[in-house]
Amino acid sequence: MGETGAMLLNGKPVDLDQLKVLGLTNYGHFTSMRVDAGRVRGLTLHLDRLTRDCRALFGVDLDRDEIRNHVRQAVDGFAGSIVARVTVFDPELDLGHPASASNPQVLVTTRSAASAPSPPLVLTTRSYERDVPGVKHVGLFGTMYHRRQAQIGGFEDVLFTDAEGYISEGATWNIGLIEGGEVVWPAAPALPGITMELIRRERAGVSRQVNVADLGQYVGAFVTNAAIGVRSIASVDETRWTSEDAILEQIRKEYGAIPGEPL
């Protein structure tokens, strides 16, 4: 298509009536992948997520090759970097009888990917746990509400904690902390991110509970998601990191060196 604003349902231009159910019921799941010159880091993991979540929400299997074809069609002709979002939902879903939803369709939308490195994030914390945190579902009200409140309060984004202050994830990203030469991933109910998993395959790190009150013991922190890769954190509430730890640049380089899989 050559555009960054493609919107295709099952590989065809979308009839807006077909999106009514998605907008009005907000039941479905998705994954967002960065496409660089027709290749995607962690493409197999994105397809694993889509098929796993489709079984969880609709009880059926997706055709992985068909998904690849739809994404390839949506990004065809665009040589740079683009973010493709694959959303799976059933246009025939009945609000009163969601158990009957068993014919999911594939919506692919695209947008331009950021090219310049982003500055370190300034975060605040909020007590919140997403519904069904292991599924990347389209129910984004809670996460967007808390992100908006954080931004109104002068912060850039929000880091979620439980009632006891143990951190889990951000609105649309995972968090890693640096302790010496090792990465610590919070052990908490959270979405298993693709970028986080790719980094863990390069350097496993450790997983343990992390309380927000103990963030000062770490020498740095960063967020991960498919669209931005790795982005450092400047502060979380009163905890501040004035410079990036050297290991963070190594993590960026390791992640950047992971070859993309062809669509």
pTM above 0.85, yes or no: yes
pLDDT score of 118: 85
Amino acid at 160: F
Q: Phi/psi at 191 (nearest 5 deg)?
A: -70, 130
User: What percent of the chain is modeled with pLDDT above 90?
Assistant: 86
> Structural domain boundaries of the chain?
7-112, 121-262
The separation between CA 208 and the C-alpha centre of its own chain, rounded to angstroms, equals 21
pLDDT score of 240: 97
How many other CB atoms are there within 10 angstroms of residue 70's CB atom?
21
Helices (H) and strands (E) in the chain, counts: 6, 16
Q: Which of helix, strand or coil describes residue 169? A: strand
DSSP string, 89-101: E-TT--TT-GGG-
How many other CB atoms are there within 10 angstroms of residue 166's CB atom?
17
pLDDT score of 183: 96
CB 229 within 8 A of CB 258: no
pLDDT score of 245: 81
pLDDT score of 16: 86
pLDDT score of 85: 97
Cα–Cα–Cα angle for 237, 121, 187, rounded to 5 degrees: 70
**How far apart (Å, rounded) are the C-alpha atoms in residues 123 and 231?**
12
Res 237 pLDDT > 80: yes
Mean pLDDT of 209-222: 96
Mean pLDDT of 125-137: 96
Res 2 pLDDT > 50: no
pLDDT score of 224: 97
pLDDT score of 1: 44
Q: Which of 3-12, 37-46, 208-217 has the lowest mean pLDDT?
A: 3-12
pLDDT score of 169: 98
Hey, what CATH class is 121-262 in? alpha beta
pLDDT score of 4: 59
pLDDT score of 126: 98
| Whole-Å CA distances, 9 to 3, 90, 91, 194, 228 | 16, 11, 11, 24, 26
Tell me yes or no: is domain 7-112 CATH 3.30.470.10: yes
| Whole-Å CA distances, 118 to 56, 102, 193 | 35, 40, 19
Res 63 pLDDT > 80: yes
Mean pLDDT of 36-54: 97
User: Which tokens in the block code for residue 144?
Assistant: 């967007």
**How far apart (Å, rounded) are the C-alpha atoms in residues 131 and 137?**
9
Res 14 pLDDT > 80: yes
pLDDT score of 180: 86
78 pLDDT band, cuts 50/70/90, is: confident
pLDDT score of 116: 66
Of 247, 244, 246, 249, which is closest to residue 234 (Cα–Cα)? 244
pLDDT score of 140: 95
User: What percent of the chain is modeled with pLDDT above 70?
Assistant: 98
Q: What is the mean pLDDT of the chain?
A: 94
